Structure 1
């Protein structure tokens, strides 16, 4: 069954650039929650299922996840020019902000309040990521691999990286390869099912 199409799309490359610039400027401490809210709930450029699938692809590609996603969305609607507009939107304004903050933070980096602020931002970021994961979890019910199998692969991946301290590349290749093979098998069976009934 094909995924439902998103109800909206970017109006122009300028719309892409401005939208991703504003999105990037909101992403303090963690952008996953902001990206999901902006692209799926507010702008409605993607369905929840499309977001889950494309975010997964963006995560395994080299580079920052949200930059990869911006380029994928821009490329889908406007080709190479759209991908570059998404990339510029994600990087231009944050680059200026980071340079200004780096100069300002260099003068106070040893103070206790600055260290406390950084620790607090880390906790907030973890909370945002966990909340977004819970919000996106229902999208796994329509996944061809079934939610329980997806959770199994997620749990094994977490155990490999967080508990066993395996290299991320090994987990991506090993567990990711197994997940890919399982998805290929399941989708192949589903594609063959109508022919069997004919």
Structure 2
């Protein structure tokens, strides 16, 4: 009887433990996050959710929401945190650095070029109008991503009504009352953690 082939030492560990696709290498991570970054006008949250969950299927929607939640409370840009978490999940430190480099390298060059162009044409009314229009598009992308992610609330350990109340409180505190983000994250987020823990404990 022949022995089953051993997994390649360079293969992603996720590929052997899950049925969903996984990045093939650190280069695959770098290229994927570079393409994500180049699509991310006004922020890459909407793009990274579509690419990671819907197109590449490296994460389920529930996993994306869990990792995004952790990325939100860590110091630093939350999208960079998320990229490093996804890279580390597959290839450890090398994967984390590859994902982060892909997310930052190309946009850095683009921003430097655009900064030079903007310094020359900033006073042109057409340029100012275009930037205001892009702000509306960015807001729409964030809202659409929020609606997609809200589908996971039905499977949350907390009742749907409690999830909606916590989300509404977060919106009111941040958008209307202008409470500092750190206070909302640790205060309201801590309350959510306590409520979930009470539901999960034996």
Contact (CA 8 Å) 1:72, 1:83: kept in 2 or not? yes
Contact (CA 8 Å) 1:30, 1:125: kept in 2 or not? yes
Q: Note if 1:10 corresponds to 2:1.
A: no
Spell out structure 1 runs of 4+ moving beyond 2 A: none
Q: Name the structure 2 match of 1:196.
A: none
Unaligned runs of 5+ residues in structure 1 are 193-198
Q: Name the structure 2 match of 1:140.
A: 153
Which of these residues, 76, 80, 95, is aligned with residue 63 of structure 1? Answer: 76
- CA RMSD in angstroms comes to 1.3
- The count of corresponding residues between Structure 1 and Structure 2 is 185
Q: Secondary structure at the match of 1:130?
A: helix
Unaligned runs of 5+ residues in structure 2 are 1-17
Q: Normalization by structure 2: what TM-score?
A: 0.87
Instruction: State the Cα deviation string for residues 31-87 of structure 1 (Å, max 9, x = none).
Output: 121111100011000001111111111122222222111100111111111110111
Q: Measure how far apart 1:6 and its partner are.
A: 6.3
The 5 A counterparts of 1:1-198 are 7-188=20-201, 192=202
Could you tell me how far apart the structure 1 residues matched to 2:36 and 2:65 are?
18
